Amino acid sequence: MAAYGLYTHIASNKFRSMLLLAGLFLLIYVLVFAGALLAEVLIRSDAPVDYYLRAASRDLVTAFPYATGVAALWIVIAYFFHQNMIDAVTGGEDVTRQQQPRLYNLLENLCISRGIPMPKLKVMDSPALNAFASGLNRRQYSVTVTSGLLQALNDQEIEAVLGHELTHIRNGDVQLMVIAVIIAGVVGFFGELFFRMFTNLSWNSSGSGWSSSSSRSSSSSDSDSKGSGGGGAIIVVIIAIALILLAWLLSQVVKLALSRSRELLADAGSVELTKNPDAMITALRKIENRGELPGATSAVMELCVDNPREGFADLFATHPSVDSRVKALVQFAGGHDPGPLALPSDVADEPDDRDESAPGQIPPPAPRGPWSDASGPARPAPSEGPWGRHN
């Protein structure tokens, strides 16, 4: 982390943002070609494979300006209204100094101390402990925090979280993440549309389409029926499905462009703003495994301080683990790790048959990971002070 230049990271984010936007148009064209293949099979189910490929290519050329216009329109809509979409999903609402003086003052002080333009401040009513930044330009930047975060964290820890989100804005991470959300949304929309077409196609073809054409069997036309008729249509449908799946998979791989080092840099940026590595560490420990936003899409969760949702075996995880982030802060910023922290709200989650001899002990959150068992026995909380080592 120390050897990775900040300006290199910012420049890389800008380059990848432009690359992802170009990739969006490419994925749209792939989906249009796949849809054209399905449409040609609907129109004629007894043609050879090369006929479908040529016809779909002509359809793609004809639809090219329309597909480009739709992709551009989607980007324009997302550019101006993505925050409204996010607020509709999360329920975030703008707050003023009068409504949230504590939170507003903490954010304003950080912005003034570093000459950063003040982003909009939003609060969403949720017991989850999380926060995220969004926006594509200075007029759109906003920081959203949950009501649960405000209740569970002290002023220094909230300031550290706000510094983390401000660093995302300064580093250009927010633009890249929002663009990735746009790509996933448009590919998901068209992918679902074409899969609905495929569902109708298979239902229609089960009657008189493929079955009638494939039922022709004679010694003189057997080879022709394999290269044309139902066989050709089936091959083309398989190709179309493969292209749709490929486009969807590439839209998911876009997440890999969101380098997980951005979270480590944002943590470091928070420490640089607040001069308090311990506050960032304890904030992460309190947020750990408590950040799930009910009803939020995976795209929104990828914007958050911590994303408890993980890909298979951590392969597609968009955030490094809290343990690795805390370890980096301890190693490079001189912070102290108290280990997993329990909150007063965790008392309600304790089993009724807990050990009577230790009424003051509250179990920490369950271990993070795809193979962890949240129902396993709880470990006792550390017996030392707030900065003591976890046993």
Q: State the catalytic residue, choosing from 40, 165, 263, 288.
A: 165
Which single residue is written with the structure tokens 């925090």? 145
Helix (H, G, I), strand (E, B) or coil at 352: coil
Residue 218, sorted as left (phi over 0), alpha (psi -120 to 50) or beta, turns out to be beta
Q: Where are the alpha helices (DSSP H) in the chain?
A: 6-43, 49-90, 101-114, 147-152, 155-171, 173-204, 210-214, 222-227, 229-253, 261-274, 277-287, 298-301, 322-333
Q: Let me know if 350 is a catalytic residue.
A: no
Query: Which of these, 243, 255, 180, lies nearest to 20 by C-alpha position?
Result: 180
Q: Is 355 helix (H, G, I), strand (E, B) or coil?
A: coil
Q: 126 burial class (0-12, 13-18, 19+ CB within 10 angstroms)?
A: buried
Q: Which residues, including other chains, have CB under 8 Å from residue 151's CB and lie 6 or more apart?
A: none
Question: Using CA atoms, how far apart are residues 29 and 315, in angstroms rounded to an integer?
Answer: 28
By C-alpha distance, which of 117, 185, 148, 179 is closest to 305?
148
SS3 122: strand
Pair type for strands 142-146 and 120-124: parallel
CA 92 to chain CA centroid, nearest Å: 18
Concatenated DSSP letters of 138-185: TTT-EEEEEHHHHHHS-HHHHHHHHHHHHHHHHHTHHHHHHHHHHHHH
Residues carrying an active site annotation: 165
